[in-house]
Amino acid sequence: MENKQQLTEQILRMSGVNARKCMRCGKCTATCPSFDEMEYHPHQFVYMVEKGDIEPLMKSESLYTCLTCFACVERCPRNVEPAKLVEAVRLAVIREQGANHLKPQDLPELWDEDLPQQAIVSAFRKYSK
């Protein structure tokens, strides 16, 4: 139980987000361009972090589906920043693994002509911290 609380505090400290400000309106999720591909949506990330339910988030592919476009941040009427929580959980996973999930040399084999440039820039920002 202590570890769960420490992990939650670590995520909140790394993100700088006050998850209790969320009123669960869902505007962040409605704005998310990756909504259809995500197991956990932006508003669910906020709620799960607030409740200390971090482990499922750390195992979710949603961490790597998020484009980190910050559309959810822009749309939030309460200035909760779901993308920053996603980034913090992703960083916790990377630190736990001791390595990056994606390396620059992996990109050529994943390349797709329809891949937006933002996804490439975001991938380097996500995986090389």
The domain that contains 99 carries what CATH number?
1.10.1060
CA atoms within 13 A on the CB side of 16: 4
DSSP letter, residue 52: T
- Is the distance from CB of 43 to CB of 22 less than 8 angstroms? yes
Question: In the predicted model, what is the mean pLDDT of residues 29-52?
Answer: 94
C-alpha 127: how far from chain center: 12
Structural tokens at position 113: 């002509």
Which pLDDT band, with edges at 50, 70 and 90, does 112 fall under? confident
- Is the distance from CB of 92 to CB of 58 less than 8 angstroms? yes
Instruction: Please tell me which residue, 64 or 109, carries the higher pLDDT value.
Output: 64
- At residue 15, the pLDDT reads 93
- At residue 129, the pLDDT reads 45
Q: Whole-prediction pTM value?
A: 0.74
- At residue 32, the pLDDT reads 95
- At residue 23, the pLDDT reads 94
* Total residues belonging to the chain: 129
Q: Of 26-30, 36-40, 91-95, 120-124, which range is least confident?
A: 120-124
Query: Does residue 79 register a pLDDT over 70?
Result: yes
Structural tokens at position 66: 């998020």
Q: How many domains does the chain have?
A: 1
Instruction: Please tell me which residue, 80 or 100, carries the higher pLDDT value.
Output: 80
- Is the distance from CB of 101 to CB of 64 less than 8 angstroms? yes
Domain of residue 100 covers 2-127
Q: Which amino acid is at 67?
A: L
C-alpha 108: how far from chain center: 24
